[in-house]
Structures are given as structure tokens and as C-alpha cells.
Amino acid sequence: MNIWIMNHYATSMYYDRAGRHYWFAEKLNQRGYKTTVFCATTLLNSDKQIDTKGKFLSVKRAGTISFVFVKTDLCSGNGIGRIKNMMLFYKNLFPAAKAYECKYGKPDVIIASSVHPLTMVAGIQIARIMRVPCICEIRDLWPEAIFSFGKAKENSFMGKMLVWGEHWIYRHADALVFTKEGDTDYLKEKKWNTEQGGDIDLTKCFYINNGVDTKAFERNVKETVLEDPDLWDDTKFNVTYAGTIRSVNHVETILDAARILLEKPEYEDIRILIYGDGEEKAKLVKRVEEERITNVRLKGFVERRYVPFILSKSSVNILNYSQSQYNWTRGNSSNKLFEYMASGKPVISTVRTGYSIIRRYDCGEELEEDNPAALARQIIEFHDMDSKKYEAMCRNAKEGVKDFDFEVLTNKLEKVIESVT
């Protein structure tokens, strides 16, 4: 069976040889499918770009996977340039899909994935033209997230148009895949499901979480070693954050917690390691220097392949978000969560979620309040924790992540494919 996966931002997966759709494509191909990933020629917030030599597309291979790069312009940030980039990807998907079909044949199924909805709109429309089913994958509830961050008001004209477009996608997709367990609650809240008189049948809705390729993770821990002295110092209790440093990640809260810990000399062995880059990094560097937050190390960007080793050398890992800026009642499907679990180390989450994976597998703690004092207290609690309890949480994390291995998740995706074919 010929599967096309459309994800604007899968470009990074080509470079990293990792990520949700890379692993899905790899696993599907191992099972006899022929999988192609359509993504943009540009890498978000980077000057990297695939040269299409004036054509709408360029085709490259990554292992067993064909990547079709759809021509787009460079963009950075979240302004008008990014919107233009989205629209150009949508527009050029049509001729790119046609050209690829002429040379390699049409798909049996299209899987169109957000983050932004235009990819799903294009996926549905191209599937109609080719008379094949389209599965839409919603990795972030849109436009609810836009309303949560105050970028638009739901009752405004623009807000109503966005909701209308969202409803159109859900109605016309042959199947819907949500990445958070409670996302179908949203359809019930909107009364869009057929049981409440709406037009969306919940039997076409499926839940497939994010996850991790556990074998690849373990291989990287052993083979991709980072020679960072802070990771090899066994006298320290390392608390690690690995991820983007943006305002939405509230990494400054970690610095505030570190300052509280500095006031407690008995915990001088606690050290906080922050790996990642982003628009807020310069502010953090300035704070660490000016406020002399000596128990924090800002490590900057590291290649994705080093992350498994880094996490494995940690004592506890932090998922850092704002409780108020997002609706967490439907769960959390952060990629970091599953990498943290795969490392076999406990997780501290600064938000308390519905459908909590951390509580279900007893592999960490979720804070009742997302403030520095609460975070500092929780770090101390792990530092002072009885070794048997700590080791049990480590085992729970390692065991629990098996349910989110991509072999298991691909089994679920196959069932969705079968439901539409």
C-alpha cells in the first residue's frame, strides 16, 4: 500500500533521522508499505533550505523513506513571514503532489498532519482529486491554542472563521487521529458529535499519542556520547531541562527555582542543566551572569542525537510549562515526556494534566502550582527521596514508555489505515 504523509514541518525529521512521521514511515516500510513524506524545503527559524532548482519539489531519500520537499520561502519567528510560508506550502502542495503522482503513482491513503490546518485542508482536497481517503492528524487543537494565547478571540469574526475551518476539516476527513487522549472531549464540548445532533461520528476518531523509538533511544545512549564534564560529575544531583527556550516554555521559572535553592547551602550539590536554544536564551544568559545563579548551566543548542545520553545522565528531568496559558485537561503529548521516560529517570511537570501519563505510570510528579517555590520544593523532595522509592519511579518510567514505543503506535496507525481502506 502506498502512503503519503503530509507535514509542513517534517523537514527537521529528514535532517535528524528521527521524529513522529520519520518513525511511522520507517516502521510502515518495514511492514511492506511504501511511505512518502511531503514537507517544506525550509527549516523553521533556520537558513537551511533544500534547493528545488526552480521546480515545485525536490525528492530525496533518508534510509527507506522518500522525502518530497515542497518549495517554500525562508521564514523566522511567528509573524507575516511564517503565514506566507504556510500559504505557499499549501499552494505548492497541489502541483508537487501531481508531479510526484505522475512519476511514482498515486497514493492509497493520504495522512495530513497539523500543526497548522492548511496542510490538512490540502490533504483533504488532494485526496478528493485523487479519489483516495484522507486521514487528518491533529497534533494540537487548533484554533483553541490560538485563543488560549490571546492571539485571537473566539467570538470575533476571525475567531468564528477559524472555528468554521476547523469544523470543516473534522467533517470532511475520512478519519481523525488525535495525539492527546482527551481531545475527543473537545468535540463533545462543541456538540459536533452525532450523539448530540452534530455531524462528526466519533467512531472515525482515534487516539495515537506521541512516543519514542525505544531501540534507537537506547542505541544513542550507548553510541552517541557527549563529552560534557557536567554530565560525568557523579557528585552532583543533575536536574535537566532539554528543549526549546521560548516564552511559552517559561524557562525563567527554572532560574527562579534555582535562586531559591542557592539560599539552601545543604543543597549545594543540586545543579540545573538547561539544553536548548530559542528567543529567550539571551535573557536567561544575562540573568545567570548578573544575578550570579551559579547552580545553573546554560548549555545551548545540542544535536538531537545527543539528547538520549544527556537525559540518561540526569537525576530528574523537568517538563516546564504554564498552567494558565493552555488547557491541560485533555492530557499532554509532549515529545519530551516520552524521551524523559525512556531515559529511566523521574519527571517533574510544572503543570497538572488530565489523563495524566505521569500519574498513571507513577514515574514522576506534577505540581499543583506552576511557581518557582513549588518547583524548588519538588526538586528537593526528589533529592531527599528514599532510594527504593526513587528507583521504583525510574523503573516505572522505563516500563511505562514501552506503551509509547513506535512499534506499538504503528500498530494503532495500521488499524486507522485499515478503517478507511
pLDDT recorded at residue 364: 98
CB 43 within 8 A of CB 11: yes
Fold: same for 2-211+405-420 and 214-404? yes
- The pLDDT averaged over each successive group of 10 residues in the chain (421 residues) is 97 93 98 97 83 91 96 76 89 96 97 93 98 95 76 82 94 97 94 96 97 96 94 95 87 96 97 93 95 96 94 96 84 94 97 96 95 97 97 98 98 98 93
pLDDT digits (tens, 9 = 90+) for 60-107: 999 999 999 999 987 766 678 788 889 999 999 999 999 999 999 999
Taking the domains of the chain in order of start, what are their residue ranges? Answer: 2-211+405-420, 214-404
Beta bridge partners of 3: 35, 109
CATH homologous superfamily for 2-211+405-420?
A: Glycogen Phosphorylase B; (3.40.50.2000)
Q: Which residues contact 353 (CB under 8 A, 6 or more apart)?
A: 328, 329, 331, 332, 366
pLDDT recorded at residue 146: 76
Half-sphere exposure of 48 (CA within 13 A, CB side): 11
pLDDT recorded at residue 77: 62
Q: Quick count: other Cβ atoms within 10 Å of Cβ 98? A: 15
Q: How does DSSP assign 25-70, residue by residue?
A: HHHHHHTT-EEEEEEESB-TTSS-B---TTSSEEEEEETTEEEEEE
pLDDT digits (tens, 9 = 90+) for 313-340: 999 999 998 887 788 999 999 999 999 9
Q: What is the CATH number of domain 214-404?
A: 3.40.50.2000
d(CA 74, CA 88): 11
